Structure 1
């Protein structure tokens, strides 16, 4: 990046370079799968909300289940995209000092963040599973869906966060060990 180009605050922190080979293709496939599922959930939310709007304006009654379904789709959209957000460093964070670090130190910092997030998410999985079991004998008010399917979204959230934190940790560790050049071609 030249001095005349404006810097993008989302890209000021070192990106963890993805691995190639079979591992890289597998992770890329997982990325595409969860991006597709989250996108489908978003499209379904839009369709359900549009149905609700049209029903309120054009029909004598509006279906009661649309609000509930849109809420459940939103919950799953967030859960399914949680790993991608972590992998692409798009989650909410506070950048106080990272820009002062060198490329390698930024990778170490990102690896530590992945480690902390991964350990926390893995620790939460058993509790999320217990929470999902609470809904085994409950059904949603209007749709009649067993609530353990809805509560299982917490297992998906923490499971995907753990998986993607492990992927980020592996990729950062490999990048640190290789000690190659930064994405801009500079020595670290």
Structure 2
């Protein structure tokens, strides 16, 4: 029988083989710790939103089964919580390279190639977020004149999720770009060296 530590090592190795970009080293020191805290904060908020969705859906089911009425606001609340869950987790997903992508050639890249690829992708994604962010703010301001049908909440707060989304994408793309450049110029660990890829 294998130990839990051995199984965790095997699982980590499989994930790294599936996701070659996870081998690009992240920032260390104080900046790395601050980014790690921000990751945990936003993931924690996204988890709270997910728990809120589960509670709202369970309340709706319980209302249909056991109460004489079903609360109408639960469907709307779960939809808004889902939108914020996606927005709040977007930055951490970029930072951990867990977004949807097609890996056609990543496994052929050496350490510097992976770092360069990450820097270029983060630059493009960050540039897109920087272009869209002002329009997301205008879109959110338009919600100030509307209220949600059942919760009677200003739609400004709901539409503001687009600002949160693109702001986090911009910030975390900048972090990924810096990490890619840092990995591009740093000497790789001996285990990661691939002589043909470094030339």
The TM-score normalised by the length of structure 2 is: 0.87
Tell me what 2:192 maps to: 186
Q: Decide whether the 8 Å contact of 2:111 with 2:188 is kept in 1.
A: no
Tell me what 2:101 maps to: 93
For the aligned residues, what is the CA RMSD?
Answer: 1.5
The equivalent position to 1:104 in structure 2, one of 112, 117, 121, is 112
The equivalent position to 1:56 in structure 2, one of 58, 64, 67, is 64
Q: Distance in 1 between matches of 2:22 and 2:84?
A: 29
Q: Distance in 1 between matches of 2:43 and 2:30?
A: 20
The TM-score normalised by the length of structure 1 is: 0.92
Tell me what 2:42 maps to: 34
* Number of equivalences: 182
Q: Decide whether the 8 Å contact of 1:52 with 1:62 is kept in 2.
A: yes
In the alignment, structure 2 segments of 5+ residues that lack a partner are 1-9, 195-199
Q: Decide whether the 8 Å contact of 1:118 with 1:162 is kept in 2.
A: yes
Q: Distance in 1 between matches of 2:188 and 2:102?
A: 27
The equivalent position to 2:157 in structure 1, one of 149, 166, 171, is 149
The structure that is helix-richer by fraction is 2
Tell me what 1:19 maps to: 27
Pairwise CA distance, 1:49: 0.5
Deviation string for 1:110-154 (max 9, x for gaps)? 111111100101110000001001101100000000001000000
Q: Decide whether the 8 Å contact of 1:140 with 1:146 is kept in 2.
A: yes
In the alignment, structure 1 segments of 5+ residues that lack a partner are none
Q: Distance in 2 between matches of 1:68 and 1:10?
A: 37
